[in-house]
Amino acid sequence: MSSPRILVLNGPNLNMLGKREPEVYGHETLADLDARCQAKASELGLEADCRQSNHEGDLVTWIQDARENHEGIILNAGAYTHTSVALHDALLAAQVPVIEVHLSNIFAREEYRHHSFISPIAVGVICGLGFQGYDLALEAMAARLA
């Protein structure tokens, strides 16, 4: 039987990981993060489908498609977290469990990062733990789907 597919979605600027602001986001790259998620997912009997886009419309389309193609979504929507009603609506319609992840602790940062349009429809939120947050999200997703 095939492993449940989890869409691991990263939003705008996360392609810059390891290239700028290492004091906030660390030294590792998006490719490192994707490889880590794939390894962790396979340990858990899941398949991680890792994607990143700087474009809100791409993220909306992938979330819409997840209803047919994925069992769950792990989402770091980047700055769209704090602005996007479109992502909120797409996630509602997707009807698969969503876990929101942030590398940094958004509550220890600027006030405008404290509000999330994703959190009200997420089954859980993990922030401030760097790449480990994605491991924990995959573990929580595996437990939920078991």
Residues that bind ligand CA2 (CB under 6 A): 13-14, 16-17, 20-21, 25, 76, 78-79, 81, 102-104, 106, 113
Backbone angles phi, psi at 77, to 5 degrees: -85, 5
Minimum Å gap between C-beta 145 and ligand CA2 is 24
Tell me whether residue 85 or residue 146 sits nearer to ligand CA2 (CB atom).
Answer: 85
Determine the Cα–Cα distance for residues 4 and 6; give it in Å rounded to an integer: 7
Cα(135)–Cα(16) distance, rounded to whole angstroms?
Answer: 20
User: Exactly one of 70, 88, 102, 134 is catalytic; which is it?
Assistant: 102
> Measured from the CB of residue 90, what is the shortest distance to ligand CA2 in angstroms?
17
Kindly report the number of other CB atoms within 10 A of residue 60's CB atom: 19
Q: Which is nearer to ligand CA2, 67 or 114 (CB)?
A: 114
Among candidate residues 45, 51, 46, 97, the one with its CA nearest the CA of residue 77 = 51
25 catalytically annotated: yes
Q: Is 27 or 146 the residue whose CB approaches ligand CA2 more closely?
A: 27
Residue 102 designated active-site? yes
CB 46 within 8 A of CB 141: yes
By beta-carbon proximity to ligand CA2, the closer residue of 76 and 84 is 76
Q: How near is the Cβ of 144 to ligand CA2 at its closest, in Å? A: 22
* Least Å from the CB of residue 128 to ligand CA2: 8
User: Could you tell me the CA-to-CA distances from 65 to 24, 69, 126 in Å, in that order?
Assistant: 32, 6, 24
User: Is 77:84 a contact under the CB 8 Å cutoff?
Assistant: yes
Q: Which residues are catalytic?
A: 25, 102
